């Protein structure tokens, strides 16, 4: 079964391509490499033993229709392609609205026109803001997003919901990812931040590797046990598998629209640093700094709905993810 994977050369997309191929799907990537590298395809070939087909086009452009026309029997799509940097989204709001929202509209039109109804959308825990009650369930009310990026995800969720309500043939799922970290255990694919990483774990691995001098822990005065902020960090391989489960669920006629995809556990920034040091036997030079504007204090997911409905749950630990993140970082150093 052919599944289009927009953004399939990116961090989460590439890991999902691996899991789709392992589950017997035929993933077809649409990616113009605006935030990824062509050599990711070599890693995919080495892991899967297959040449994954790729269309190098902008998926918010009309060229997307050509892919559906050429491939003919596409069953659906997983839509990863988007811009994702919270800070940058404030500086470039129109880029974010244009890419994130228009690509979703374009893809939905194609799915409807070419009768490819399966649709898995990459949403984010960022749509919840700082929730009043933890853990967050899919019923937790959304707050106005803190960032332009977060707003694009809220808008796209509404676009999907409204399209569904219009009665067209669409079988959608919105996956709200918590904090994806780690890499494939083979160290052949992983996260490739450009420039200074925004996210915690790539900053940790680059500091341990000596690329960055010091990690700043953003705040130790939060009302949490050790004062640093808490997130639900999920291994990217577990996250990738959630997409396979989502497709299986849709094929069986599952009708639940929204799922939290996390581990169900929160870990603080300092716990991440300590676990990384313990599991890898390396030191991370860090200092305590001010809170980062816009950060929330704590969040973690209730993922029981995904387990009940889709039979999916995270299997890998924080230590697994941090070990694999370090393996990936070291493989980059060797190149």
CB of 60 to ligand WQD, least distance (A): 18
Two tokens at 306? Answer: 């995904």
**Long-range contacts (CB closer than 8 Å, 24 or more residues apart) made by 289-293:** 289/216, 289/217, 289/218, 289/219, 290/218, 290/219, 291/218, 291/219, 291/221, 291/222, 292/218, 292/219
Nearer to ligand WQD, 68 or 259 (CB): 259
**59 near ligand NAD, rule: CB under 6 A:** yes
**What is the distance between the alpha carbons of residues 50 and 89, in angstroms, rounded to a whole number?**
36
CB of 329 to ligand NAD, least distance (A): 16
Q: Which does 295 bind (CB under 5 to 8 A by kind): ligand NAD, ligand WQD, none?
A: ligand WQD
Footprint of ligand WQD on 89-108 (CB under 6 A): none
Q: Say if residues 42 and 11 touch (Cβ distance below 8 Å).
A: no
With contacts defined by CB under 6 A, how many residues of the chain interact with ligand NAD?
A: 26
Candidates 151, 38, 16; CA nearest to 86 is 151
Cβ atoms within 10 Å, residue 166: 9
**314 near ligand NAD, rule: CB under 6 A:** no
Sorted by sequence, the CB contacts under 8 Å of residue 31 that are 6+ apart come out as 6, 7, 8, 9, 10, 13, 54, 55, 56, 59, 81
**11 near ligand NAD, rule: CB under 6 A:** yes
Nearer to ligand WQD, 19 or 191 (CB): 191
**260 near ligand NAD, rule: CB under 6 A:** no
**136 near ligand WQD, rule: CB under 6 A:** no
DSSP state of 128: G
Cβ atoms within 10 Å, residue 210: 9
Binder among 34, 38, 255, 283 for ligand NAD (CB under 6 A): 34
Q: Which does 284 bind (CB under 5 to 8 A by kind): ligand WQD, ligand NAD, none?
A: none
Annotated active-site residue in 149, 177, 222, 249: 149
With 0-12 CB in 10 A as exposed, 13-18 as middle and 19+ as buried, what is 94?
A: exposed
**What is the distance between the alpha carbons of residues 27 and 101, in angstroms, rounded to a whole number?**
23
**Pairing status of strand 267-268 against strand 230-231:** antiparallel
**Contact stretch for ligand WQD (CB under 6 A) within 22-30, 35-43, 113-121, 211-219:** 211-219
Q: Say if residues 262 and 177 touch (Cβ distance below 8 Å).
A: yes
Two tokens at 124? Answer: 């984010």
**122 near ligand NAD, rule: CB under 6 A:** yes
Footprint of ligand NAD on 264-283 (CB under 6 A): none
CA distances from 331 to 83, 185, 277 (A): 26, 11, 18
Q: Which does 183 bind (CB under 5 to 8 A by kind): ligand NAD, ligand WQD, none?
A: none
Nearer to ligand NAD, 14 or 224 (CB): 14
Footprint of ligand WQD on 285-314 (CB under 6 A): 292, 295
Q: Which does 12 bind (CB under 5 to 8 A by kind): ligand WQD, ligand NAD, none?
A: ligand NAD
**Contact stretch for ligand WQD (CB under 6 A) within 26-34, 49-57, 194-202, 249-257:** 194-202
Binder among 79, 84, 235, 243 for ligand WQD (CB under 6 A): 84
Site residues (vs ligand NAD, CB under 6 A) = 7, 9-13, 30-36, 58-60, 80-82, 84, 99, 103, 122, 124, 177, 180
Site residues (vs ligand WQD, CB under 6 A) = 84, 86, 124, 126, 179, 198-200, 203, 215-218, 229, 231, 269, 292, 295
């Amino acid at each position: 079964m052919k599944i289009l994977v927009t953004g399939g050369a990116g961090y989460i997309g590439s890991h999902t391509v691996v899991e789709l191929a392992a589950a017997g799907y035929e993933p077809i990537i649409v990616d113009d490499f605006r935030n990824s590298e062509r050599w990711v395809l070599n890693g995919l070939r080495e892991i899967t033993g297959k040449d994954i087909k790729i269309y190098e086009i902008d998926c918010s452009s009309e060229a997307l229709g050509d892919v559906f026309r050429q491939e003919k029997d596409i069953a659906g799509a997983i839509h990863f392609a988007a811009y994702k940097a919270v800070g940058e989204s404030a500086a470039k709001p129109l880029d974010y609205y244009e890419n994130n929202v228009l690509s979703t509209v374009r893809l939905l039109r194609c799915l409807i026109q070419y009768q490819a109804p399966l649709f898995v959308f990459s949403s984010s825990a960022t749509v919840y803001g700082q929730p009043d009650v933890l853990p967050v369930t899919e019923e937790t009310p959304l707050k106005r997003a803190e960032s332009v990026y977060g707003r694009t995800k809220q808008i796209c969720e509404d676009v999907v919901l409204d399209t569904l309500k219009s009665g067209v043939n669409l079988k959608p799922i919105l996956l709200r990812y918590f904090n994806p970290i780690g890499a494939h255990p083979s160290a052949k694919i992983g996260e490739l931040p450009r420039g200074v990483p925004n996210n915690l774990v790539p900053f940790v691995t680059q500091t341990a590797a000596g690329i960055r001098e010091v990690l700043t822990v953003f705040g130790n005065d939060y009302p949490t046990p050790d004062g640093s902020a808490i997130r639900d960090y999920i291994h990217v391989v577990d996250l990738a598998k959630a997409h396979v489960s989502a497709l299986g669920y849709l094929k069986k006629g599952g009708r639940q629209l929204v799922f939290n995809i996390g581990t169900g556990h929160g870990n603080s920034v300092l716990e991440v640093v300590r676990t990384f040091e313990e599991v890898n036997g390396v030191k991370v030079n860090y200092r305590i700094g001010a809170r980062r504007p816009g950060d929330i204090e704590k969040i973690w997911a209730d993922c029981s709905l995904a387990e009940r409905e889709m039979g999916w749950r995270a299997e890998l630990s924080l230590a697994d993810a941090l070990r694999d993140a370090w393996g990936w970082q070291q493989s980059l150093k060797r190149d």
